[in-house]
Amino acid sequence: MTGQPTGRKVTANLVISLDGRYHGAGGPADFAAFATYATTDVARDQMTRMRENATTAVLGRILAEGFMSFWPSVADDDNADPRDRDYAKWLVETEKVVLSTTLTEAPWERTRVVNGPVAELVAELKADGEGDILVNTSPSVTKALLAADLLDRMYLVVIPEIAGGGLRLFDDGLPPSKWQLTYQETGEQGAMALVYDRVR
């Protein structure tokens, strides 16, 4: 019934450094240290894990523009890693919600644009449909959900580097919360895939 909770989990994924940052000191485009680990087995397997039960992807506008200009071609690339190709197909075919204050219509198929509070969007999504809602590599949305205590699961890849500058995922002032580690794996280069579930 619409308006009632459906049991959908709100999940998020992100790659962070040992000092908790999701980009380098050079600003939001500084991903040099992070890119090294993006094509490792541990990162690709985490990508598979996070999308397996997800039926809705929530993205910020800037990330959506980057993703939708890159991933659709991977879906049709027979030479791509099968995990990358499967993720690309999922992203193209799944329902997408893009948070934006500037877009007026969605330039991609199966996508709608929302200009409004993240908490309201999540409540709306949880009230209808099935499957997980994945906040897909969108730190600003993830941070807003952490602040509102609306996140149920985090898929993190922690890289063995200290960025030394850049924005952190876990800002001061977040409400206290307890999390249970439900999966962990360490890759050959020392990056760790971690899955944390919110204990309520």
> Which residues have a Cβ under 8 Å from the Cβ of 85 and sit 6 or more positions away?
74, 75, 77
Q: Rounded to an integer, what distance in angstroms lies between the CA atom of residue 96 and that of residue 125?
A: 11
Residue 192 lies in a domain: no
**What pLDDT was estimated at residue 2?**
45
Residue 115 lies in a domain: yes
- On the 0-12 / 13-18 / 19+ scale of CB atoms within 10 A, 178 is exposed
pTM: 0.92
Residue 191 lies in a domain: no
**What pLDDT was estimated at residue 107?**
85
Residue 198 lies in a domain: no
Beta bridge partners of 168: 21
Q: Which two tokens stand for residue 131?
A: 């499957």
Beta bridge partners of 58: 97, 135
Q: Looking at residue 145, which CATH number applies to its domain? A: 3.40.430.10
Q: Which residue has the tokens 């949880």?
A: 126
Q: Rounded to an integer, what distance in angstroms lies between the CA atom of residue 61 and that of residue 181?
A: 30
Tens-binned pLDDT, residue by residue, of the chain (200 aa): 344 556 899 999 999 999 999 999 998 889 889 999 999 999 999 999 999 999 999 999 888 988 888 999 999 999 999 999 999 999 999 999 999 999 888 888 999 999 999 999 998 999 988 999 999 999 999 999 999 999 999 999 999 999 999 999 999 999 999 999 999 999 989 999 999 999 99
Residue 112 lies in a domain: yes
Residue 4 lies in a domain: no
Structural domain of 20? 10-28+38-186
Overall number of domains in the chain: 1
Residue 199 lies in a domain: no
Helices H / strands E in the chain, number of each? 6, 8
Residue 1 lies in a domain: no
Cα-to-chain-centroid distance, residue 47: 9
